[in-house]
Structure 1
Amino acid sequence: MEDQDLGTIILAVSSELVFSIGSYKGKHYAKIRKFVKTGKYSGPTKAGLSFTGHTLVALIKILQQLQASLPGVQEQEIARLPKTGDREIVVLIMPPDDVQSLPNIDIREYIESANFTGFSKKGVRFNWHKLQDVLALLQVQAQQLQQHEKQTPTLFPEARPEWVNEAEKLNSPASGGKDEVLEKLLPSGPKIFPEDFLDNVQGGAQEVELSSDVLKVEQQSDGTYAVCSEFGFCHGVRNPTEGNYLFYSWLRGKTKVQLPQEMITVFRTVKAYENYLRNLQKSLIQAYERKSGHRPIAEHRVKQVFNRYGLPWIEGS
């Protein structure tokens, strides 16, 4: 059976990680291979790993906890997973390339035998900002292995490996571990826009129905502004602030928005929300920086949080 490719993550212009499912002697494995493209060679390298379902589920849990824990940037060993006999899988944090960069994550095979002790060439390394994408593809692999395991005939279905049941829980909200910073600063989530920022609405409101497609506020060729998608939707607005009112509402999941007629109300609501976001960005970045000791990784985490909650990123905060 040929390997079934499930996804690719670009590491650099000339290298990528390919995630796949393969089989050997009737047993299925998750595989990660590094591919390169150079003037002399294009194809897979010796750097690559394969996992059983049990090891894969354990690795996903470790990476989820790592993502939530926000470790420092010094080289450190995070965990070891048994693989086969004299081989283990070791997860490490590696220092960033420079002070402005994020750290790297290294997942590598370690051998301890009579002939050799140390790391082998089998392993993959990726930057911290790729962790979310790597986790997503590892979870897809786990789901595929789970399906293959369930389809395998057995006299005792109730005796299937425990990892098969654990794989179903990997995508649950609680699977990634606790984020102490969010529990402290956003215990109930962020404030709701625009409801929590409207004050003394007068003059009525107009209902605006927005597209569910990705929107942005842009200036038209005639100098006016509009909220538009790439698929033909375009709603004209009086100015960029009114556009942001609709855009911020859309980011929070709204497709029908009550737009105040009084421009002063729109202006005050948007500015109050942006001030709230600036303060929230600052507080979260400071908290994550205290935890990690590295500002770039703190800013990266806060951007992930904002994206998860549908909050716009305010530059220069």
Structure 2
Amino acid sequence: MTELSADKLAQFISNITFEKVPVSVREQIRWRLLDALSTLLGDETNVMRLVPITSQGRSGHEQASVAAEGRALSLESAQIALSVGALLEAGPLPAWSTQAFAKTNASIIAAAWSAVESTGGNGRLLMEALAAGYAAAAVLAEGVPDDDTLAGRVGACSAAVGAAAAAAKAQGLSATATLNAMGFAAGQAAQLAEDTNKRSDAVGHSGAARAAMDGVLSAHMAVTGAVSPADLINLLKQGRQAVPIGADAWQLALDRQPAPTADQSAQRFRERLSASNGMARIDAIIKLIARLEHTEPGVIRSCILP
């Protein structure tokens, strides 16, 4: 156990690869994403709908991950993060999740998805981005101190910083750029916490949609070369408790909020979508998530249309 170092955390996130993510974390990522899809596609009032799964229309070169530092995210990525985050936040609370974690989960999924789509990334990159977001949020949340004011600031940061970490990973940012992205996100979250005069709800200050958008825009700023002021980065260091960075961070990500098993999540997905969608298509999506690291760019997004 070591004290939280923002630099070490940024380096850890920057170095994440699919192979370095423990299998147990990969499995939680799959089923958290499937659970999110059940919310996006299962609400009868939702404007999203299932469409045939296809990978046509992209060349082999385009099907490779193309995230690279220096490539700015499109404006659409912020819009996707905002809309997906809002839909996930408005959906029913998963049986396996607390309200605070559900919002953090929604912000990270929305930011990772939008950034990966914007950069033309594949399923493996999406899993890496989600892993980065969950690890960053878990490490930051672990450092929340007893002081109410500071707890409110750090707690509010966890969702936005997790979203920024996910977006930064999706773009392949260096540790330095990742640190700047997290600093910008921490500043946004802390300012909202102060403006609303709330105390220690983990992400209640801004909500999943705002945290997701702030995270994506923070990564966008880092891509353009903007440097986060030192006082914003210091917000990431203010926890009094010892916080693990490195291999132990993965255990934190697992312990903070256990995800459903594969069978539980698949059953929930079938139950929520069976009334209005064919079982063959539903099973196809479940299989796609089970092999997420093998999916080509745009395949998951092709499952839903606005």
Give the TM-score normalised by the residue count of structure 2: 0.23
By percentage of residues, which structure has more strand?
A: 1
Give the TM-score normalised by the residue count of structure 1: 0.22
Greater RCO, 1 or 2 (C-alpha within 8 Å, sep 6+): 2
Q: Which has more radius of gyration?
A: 1
By percentage of residues, which structure has more helix?
A: 2
